[in-house]
A and B are shown apart, each in its own frame.
Chain A
Amino acid sequence: MEPALALRPPRHRADPRAVRWWTVQGLLVAVPLALTAGAAYWFLTERQVWLGALVAAFAVACVALASLTPRLYYRVQRWEVTDDAVYTLHGWLTHTWRVAPMSRIQTVDTERGPVQRLFGLANVTVTTASAAGHIKIEALDHELAARLAERLTTITQATPGDAT
């Protein structure tokens, strides 16, 4: 018994440069982790072969995860802003769709991390009055992000009430 209704994926993907950004970001964590494991093996143990194999496997797994998951992320992360709502989808094993109506948006933030800036990317975060309801659109071209934030701010300012 297949369900008859489904949520369609939002229209837009993140900027293609996001893959490289996420890869660099991931490697910045994974490479030191792998190196530390290797160094600990080399200097602190008696260099048993089985342990060496384990450490090597760990290091390879770290780097492989960091360089492969961004492609996966890119495929599953989507966003869309209509005249009435902000709509996003993310998650690979667990899909999470979020919708916030324009009339209930309270703040719009753009943020750019240091690595992100190298790639000319920015995130847009939209919050509603709910503690559980903020929506993040990751890795947009920074000019697009600025335009989007401006558009959202204009629309939300035009809405009367305190949006609770």
Chain B
Amino acid sequence: MNPAVEEVREDDGWRTLCRRSLAASAVMSLGLAVPAAFFLGRALVERGWSPLSVAALVAGLAVLVVCGVSAFDYVRLRTTRWRLTGERLEVRSGFVERHHRSVPRERVRSVDITADPVRRVFGLAVVKVGTGEQAGGQSELSLDPLLRTDAEALRRLLLDGELSAGVSPDTSPGASLGAQDPAVARLDWSWARFAPLTVWSFVGGAILLGAGYKALGLFGLDETVEERLGPAWDWAIEHPWTAVPAVLLVNVLVGLLGAVIHFAAAWGGYRLEREPGRLRLRRGLLTTRSLTLEERRLRGVEVAEPLLLRLGGGARVKAVATGLGKTDDEENEDVAALSPPMPREHAWRVASAVAFARPEAGVTVARPDAGGASPRPGADDAFARPLADGAAPAGPRLTPHPRAARGRRIRWALSWVALVAAAVAALDLMYAWMPAWAWAAPAALLPVALLLALDAYRGLGHTLTAGHLVARSGSAVRSTLALERAGVVGWTVRGSYFQRRAGLLTLTATTAAGRGHLRVHDIGQDAGLTLAAQAVPGLLEPFVTRRADASG
């Protein structure tokens, strides 16, 4: 490329990515070069090459890999330009195929800054700008990498610029929060006790050990290890009653350790703050992440209580926001997570702080279909009440669902047990080797399934607060979702044959945020239709009829 042309484009406001990226990617390419060199070296030594030529070839390969990666990165850096104008953020990239992506600044919904350990050493960070388009995978625009300071500056510019555009009044939240600590939540290391309360702790140990063994195999060390472990294996066969519990114990210990390490790496330095008009989440010990989310993109909040975590008295908080929920490259990372597993009371306090972090709710009410009936969330809001008096158990007070819903759950549980029993019976008939104790499986399953069914019914509930529609469901994965009433973009009412016979229905509020819907499972027909009519006045009402002979 002609340098003169380069200059002109710089004048247009087009900027390059940070050159230091070359050094960072060279360091990261060692992760590829070292194993490659190791395998080559081993193969050559096995063929009986002289040490000198092996060393030369290995070094050559390593240099080749590092140079290749650096060259690729160099081309990428040379061909990528970005600029921030008054209206839009634009990125041009691509060597073979040119791309030009441009995002209107007013559409920016979240700014995510990530820095893995290598980039941190070089003072770099990756910026991802979320625009919240639901269609396609093109919802993010990423600048990889910028100087850490530039990244922070860009984040402030993108979000502050928008505030000064006069869309949302940033004075009221700032004023009301001025006296308070901006931190909604801060990491408490004692929360690490909740980290192992997932199924992964029990199966994760086995997976880790298995993966470790595979890795040994890759390096050709498995045979050596097997020779060493031979006597141990013989001993284990001879003493199964000691060996099996010991292996299980090791498995659980490894799982516990893994869970705690993962907790520390993902949530170390966790801090959730409220800045005027937005939420800011910072976390991560090795790879630091900083997510800034505009509060007017927030449509609600979810408190997730998976069974094990719930038994341990913990819960997690998630955001329900538009422009979140796309996890292109990191499927295992929950981008919507607002908190690590934490004590339940604490989770409710965070959820309630997040849900009512939107003083602009008054602005959204101006929408035609939101109606005038959703006043600012106030002190009378049921979602906040348990936190105020502190006496009630954590969480909002919810209206339970009809007993018919319990019957349905018990019948589901019984059908599952019947299915397992039928499978055992079929195997028993076909094969003679089925031992009689196989029947213990459905027998043991019966109480578990019934308990889960009853628990699922106890969990069912809904309520309507001044600003939110709240619904809870699930037993193994219990979740309480509070969705802003102004964020409801439609209703789906579903009644299966059995539900209609029992006078129940499943009410789904569709929304642009999060998973796209809030479901109120198995609510009574009258209660459900009334709830929908009250939550969003004027939308479902014209289609609801009252039976002529119904009293009242």
Contact = CB atoms under 8 A, between A and B. Distances in A.
A94 B543 contact: no
Contacts of B2: none
B539 interface: yes
B239 interface: no
Given A3-B525, A5-B544, A8-B545, A133 B500 contact: no
Contacts of B101: none
Interface residues of A, number: 35
B543 A163 contact: no
B107 to A, nearest CB: 8
5 contacts: A84-B369, A95-B500, A98-B490, A99-B491, A100-B490
Given A94-B494, A104-B490, A8 B512 contact: no
A161 interface: yes
A30 to B, nearest CB: 25
Contacts, number: 132
Nearest to A99: B491
Contacts of B175: none
A118 interface: no
Contacts of B539: 84-85, 99, 101
B503 interface: yes
A132 B492 contact: yes
A49 interface: no
A161 to B, nearest CB: 7
Contacts of B174: none
Interface string A82-96: 101101000001111
B494 A5 contact: no
- Main SS of the interface on chain A? loop
Contacts of A129: 134, 322, 489, 511-512
Interface of B: 132, 134, 322, 367-369, 487, 489-497, 500, 503, 508, 510-513, 515-517, 524-526, 529-530, 536, 538-540, 542-547, 550-552
A73 interface: no
A4 B510 contact: no
Contacts of A94: 494-497
B546 A5 contact: yes
Given A3-B503, A128-B510, A163 B489 contact: yes
A103 interface: yes
A53 interface: no
Interface in A143-164: 159, 161, 163-164
B368 A159 contact: yes
Contacts of B492: 96-99, 132-133
A164 B489 contact: yes
Given A87-B543, A103-B368, A128-B512, A7 B490 contact: no
A44 interface: no
A3 B524 contact: yes
A3 B526 contact: yes
Give the interface centre of B367, B489, B492, B513 by most chain A CB atoms within 10 Å.
B489
Contacts of A4: 526, 546-547, 550-552
Contacts of A82: 542
Contacts of A98: 490-493
